[in-house]
């Protein structure tokens, strides 16, 4: 029997450990990195709690040393995709019927396992498999994963406690049903935390998922799946299904029991998935929920009152941390002519100073980009900038994929503010800068607002607080996360709820109530105590 009304208190964010030389966390991580470098893992599918090996495998490599194989990963075929649907549907009733505090306790146990026993495992696999340095991995694969789990438990309680009023002779209540069917969770390579949350947000609300991880983030994602099973997620509640995205997507979304997808990735993939939902619409038992966060063309807008040293340091971190492969990374910038000479010198010096290399050397601020496809795409933009009369490379521009997919951080100064590198998502360490005449401030704000189809993140730097407020207002629809005197990356769960507008996604703000509410279908139940026994109204008796 469980008749307690329980509320989780608002959580504290997971502290970011410092990893100073000789610290216990650094020693443990270094040992785990060695262990993972020296082994080759075999990654199975996990369907209905069982490991399945199809024999059709792909290599999981290290982007900073692509000849090194970390794992072999089995790929799902048509049969396994069908098995995953059956497993997710079979597990649904028991999981959604379970008292929600039990589901929350599983989330919280997973959070504590990652904070302690598996911190080094999750960090090392993210560092090696996705080419992140210690700090980038710690804030993502450990702290943000934990924050999502804890905040979701807290916010789920807020949703469940919101009940309608009752009146005389009636009792009203709301039941927050899980969606009828299964959820398709499709995750990107760049954040282990997002991969986790795309599953854990639907499941805390009683849903079951089929998870297609990104092929370039499989190692950390596999370890996460194992932690979730150890924490008590029952068989069939999350079904781990590596394989070909289009094949898996097509088969899952043709199922009448498809109840929605939870996606993060590129704009093109999101559009493809949404179109597939429309094509199958008449087959479904319910209208599916479509929740997706996609790309960005994130900016820093510099007001003439800004301080160049603050702008430069924030720009370098915002543009080049994790090789610019954050959806929120700064990739275009607007600088007034009056500040440009000083700012240019600072930016060029800092960019040239950046050390780049493999992830185990802590001096490296940057590592490799994720794979050859990304390398070729990003360097294509660099070559276009080299060849164009509208652009000039003022720092970086070099690249080499002989051993790892390395691209130097690159600054492109553009003459044309609508040059392609100012408009399109590059998703790499390339920052384009447009220098505007100070007297054209108003025109440049409008330009910033209308240059790209995306609306994810943006920032203004200004010492003039009134000007900052005005720019914030004028750029209202250009970013779902806006920053004043800070870089536009590094949103923290519970503190800066994250999601973009325009072509950057459905903006359901992961890690909070707005997102969780998408994974329930409320049922209102009215009970009448003394029902009428005469169809006529009393006044009719006159
Ligand atoms: P991607 O679109 O290439 O892939 C995302 C996932 O979709 C992968 O698992 C991939 O295998 C799968 N996929 C691809 N085609 C599919 C199909 N037809 N059917 C089903 N699944 C399919 O994105 P990526 O390169 O992994 O991630 C980078 C992108 O993600 C960038 O555009 C970035 O801006 C975006 N992103 C956005 C946010 C955000 O919160 N807005 C956060 C992180 C990343």
Q: Write a three-state SS string for 393-430.
A: EEECCCEECCCCCEECCEEEEECCCCCHHHHCCCCCCE
Establish whether 293 is a catalytic residue: yes
pLDDT in tens, 450-461: 999 999 999 999
pLDDT above 70 (res 194): yes
Same domain, 268 and 369: no
Burial of 163 from C-beta contacts in 10 A (0-12 / 13-18 / 19+): exposed
8, 76, 511 from 90: Cα distances, Å: 29, 19, 27
User: pLDDT digits over 400-417, tens only?
Assistant: 999 999 999 999 999 999
CB of 508 closer than 8 Å to CB of 518: yes
Q: Which of 140, 222, 260, 266 has most ligand 1 atoms within 8 Å of CB, for mutation?
A: 266
Give domain status of residue 341, yes or no.
yes
- First vs last C-alpha separation in the chain: 53
Distance CA 278, CA 280 (A): 5
Residue 537 lies in a domain: no
306 and 214 within one domain? no
Rounded-to-integer distance, Cα 142 and Cα 119, Å: 6
Candidates 73, 143, 327, 448; catalytic one: 327
pLDDT at residue 232, rounded to an integer: 98
Give CA–CA dist 206/516, Å, rounded. Answer: 11
Tell me the per-residue pLDDT of 390-402, one tens digit each, with 9 for 90 and over: 999 999 999 999 9
List of residues 6+ apart from 101 with CB closer than 8 A: 2, 4, 6
CA of 44 to the centre of ligand 1 (A): 22
- Residue 492 resides in a domain: no
Same domain, 287 and 368: no
Containing structural domain, residue 262:
24-294+505-525
Is the pLDDT score of 28 beyond 90? yes
Active-site pick, 14, 32, 80, 293: 293
Strand-pairing partners, residue 412, are: 393, 432
Q: What DSSP letter does each residue of 149-186 carry, written as one string?
A: HHHHHHHHHHHHH------TTEEEEEEEEEPSSEEEEE
CA-wise closest residue to 478 among 508, 443, 446 = 446
SS (H, E, C) 72-138: EEECCCHHHHHHHHHHHHHHHHHHHHCCHHHHHHHHHHHHHHHHCCCHHHHHHHHHHHHCCCHHHHH
**Phi and psi angles of residue 483, each rounded to the nearest 5 degrees, phi first:** -125, 140
What CATH number is attached to the domain comprising 224?
A: 3.40.605.10
Residues 407 and 330 in one domain: yes
Confirm or reject: Cβ of 214 under 6 Å from ligand 1.
Answer: yes
The answer, yes or no, to whether residue 64 has pLDDT greater than 70, is yes
In this structure, are 256 and 373 located in the same domain?
Answer: no
Contact between 177 and 536 under an 8 Å Cβ cutoff? The reply is: no
Among 354, 462, 449, 494, residue whose Cα is nearest residue 14: 494
Closest CA to ligand 1's atom 34: 295
Residue length of the chain: 542
Residue range 342-362: mean pLDDT, rounded: 98
193 lines ligand 1 (CB under 6 A): no
* 3 pLDDT more than 80: no
Q: If you ran DSSP here, which 8-state letter would residue 143 be given?
A: I
Identify whether 7 is part of a domain.
Answer: no
Instruction: Answer yes or no: do 312 and 458 share one domain.
Output: yes
pLDDT tens for each residue of 259-313: 999 999 999 999 999 999 999 999 999 999 999 999 999 999 999 999 999 999 9
Assess whether 147 and 60 both reside in one domain.
Answer: yes
Pocket test for ligand 1, best of 188, 250, 456 (most atoms within 8 A of CB): 188
The packing angle between helices 308-320 and 340-353, to 10°, is: 40
Query: Distance (Å, rounded) from C-alpha 241 to C-alpha 84?
Result: 8
- Residue 8 pLDDT: 84
Q: Are residues 146 and 246 in the same domain?
A: yes
- Confidence band, pLDDT 50/70/90 cuts, at residue 100: very high
Judge whether 513 counts as a catalytic residue: no
CB environment 34-65: b (16+ within 10 A), e (fewer): eebeeeebebbbbbbeeebeeeebbebbbbbb
Q: What pLDDT shows up at residue 521?
A: 98
State pTM to two decimals: 0.97
Q: Does residue 496 sit within a domain?
A: no
Do 266 and 321 have their domain in common? Answer: no
Residues 199 and 266 in one domain: yes
Cβ atoms of 524 and 178 closer than 8 Å:
no
- Which percentage of the chain shows pLDDT scores above 70? 100
Shared-domain flag, residues 71 and 143: yes
- Distance, CA 434 to ligand 1 centroid (Å)? 29
* Contact in structure between 73 and 268 (CB atoms under 8 Å): no
> What CATH number does residue 414 fall under?
3.40.309.10
Question: Average pLDDT over the chain, rounded to whole?
Answer: 97
Query: Residue 292: which of 6, 77, 507 has the closest Cα?
Result: 507
Task: Give the model confidence (pLDDT) of 137-152 as tens digits.
Answer: 999 999 999 999 999 9
Residue 490 forms part of a structural domain: no
Q: What pLDDT sits at residue 402?
A: 98
Q: Between these two residues, 535 and 1, which has the higher pLDDT value?
A: 535
Residue 234 predicted with pLDDT over 70: yes
Count structural domains, the chain.
2
Q: What is the mean pLDDT of the segment spanning 364-380? A: 98
What SS3 string covers 27-70?
Answer: HHHHHHHHHHHCCCEEECEEECCEEECCCCEEEEEECCEEEEEE
Instruction: Flag whether 15 is in a domain.
Output: no
* Residue 404 CB less than 6 A away from ligand 1: no
For ligand 1, is residue 327 a contact (CB within 6 Å)? yes
Inside any domain, residue 463? yes
pLDDT in tens, 103-160: 999 999 999 999 999 999 999 999 999 999 999 999 999 999 999 999 999 999 999 9
CB 148 within 8 A of CB 197: yes
Q: With bands split at pLDDT 50, 70 and 90, how would you rate the model's confidence at 1?
A: low
249/185 Cα distance (integer angstroms): 10
Shared domain for 279 and 385, answered yes or no, is no
């Amino acid at each position: 029997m469980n008749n307690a009304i329980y509320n989780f208190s608002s959580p504290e964010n997971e502290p970011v450990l410092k990893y100073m030389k000789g610290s216990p966390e650094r020693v443990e991580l270094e040992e785990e990195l060695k262990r993972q470098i020296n082994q080759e893992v075999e990654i199975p599918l996990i369907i209905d709690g069982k490991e399945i090996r199809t024999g059709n495998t792909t290599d999981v490599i290290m982007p900073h040393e692509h000849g090194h194989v970390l794992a072999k990963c089995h790929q799902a075929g048509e049969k396994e995709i069908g098995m995953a649907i059956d497993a997710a549907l079979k597990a649904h009733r028991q999981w959604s019927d379970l008292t929600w505090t039990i589901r929350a306790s599983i989330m919280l146990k997973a959070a504590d396992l990652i904070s302690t026993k598996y911190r080094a495992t999750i960090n090392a696999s993210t560092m090696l498999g996705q080419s992140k340095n210690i700090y980038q991995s710690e804030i993502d694969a450990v702290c943000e994963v934990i924050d999502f789990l804890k905040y979701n438990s807290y916010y789920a309680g807020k949703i469940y406690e919101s009940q309608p009023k009752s009146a005389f002779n009636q009792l009203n209540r709301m039941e927050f049903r899980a969606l009828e069917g299964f959820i398709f969770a499709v995750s990107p390579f760049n954040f282990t935390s997002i991969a986790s949350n795309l599953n854990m947000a639907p499941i805390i609300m009683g849903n079951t998922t089929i998870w297609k991880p990104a092929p370039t983030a499989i190692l950390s994602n596999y370890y996460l799946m194992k932690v979730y099973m150890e924490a008590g997620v029952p068989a069939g509640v999350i079904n781990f299904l590596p394989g070909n995205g289009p094949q898996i997507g097509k088969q899952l979304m043709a199922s009448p029991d498809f109840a929605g997808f939870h996606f993060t990735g590129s704009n093109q993939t999101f559009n493809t998935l949404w179109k597939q939902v429309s094509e199958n619409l008449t087959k479904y038992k319910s209208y599916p929920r479509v929740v997706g966060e996609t790309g960005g063309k994130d900016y820093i807008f510099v007001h003439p009152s800004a301080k160049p040293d603050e702008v430069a340091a924030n720009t370098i971190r915002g543009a080049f941390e994790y090789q610019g492969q954050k959806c929120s990374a700064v990739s275009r910038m607007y600088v007034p002519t009056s500040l440009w000479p000083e700012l240019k010198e600072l930016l060029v010096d800092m960019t040239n100073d950046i050390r780049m290399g493999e992830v185990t050397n802590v001096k490296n601020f940057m590592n490799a980009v994720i794979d050859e496809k990304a390398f070729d795409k990003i360097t294509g933009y660099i070559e276009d900038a080299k060849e164009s009369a509208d652009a000039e490379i003022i720092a970086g521009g070099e690249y080499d994929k002989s051993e790892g997919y390395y691209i130097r951080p690159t600054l492109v100064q553009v003459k044309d503010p609508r040059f392609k590198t100012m408009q399109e998502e590059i998703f790499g360490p390339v920052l384009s800068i447009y220098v505007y005449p100070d007297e054209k401030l108003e025109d440049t704000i409008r330009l910033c607002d209308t240059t790209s189809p995306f609306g994810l993140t943006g920032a203004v730097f200004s010492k003039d607080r009134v000007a900052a407020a005005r720019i914030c207002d004028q750029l209202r629809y250009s970013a779902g996360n806006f920053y004043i005197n800070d870089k536009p990356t590094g949103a923290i769960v519970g503190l800066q709820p994250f999601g973009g507008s325009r072509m950057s996604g459905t903006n359901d703000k992961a890690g909070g109530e707005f997102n969780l509410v998408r994974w329930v279908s409320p049922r209102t139940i009215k009970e009448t105590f003394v029902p009428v026994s005469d169809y006529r109204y009393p006044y009719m008796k006159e």
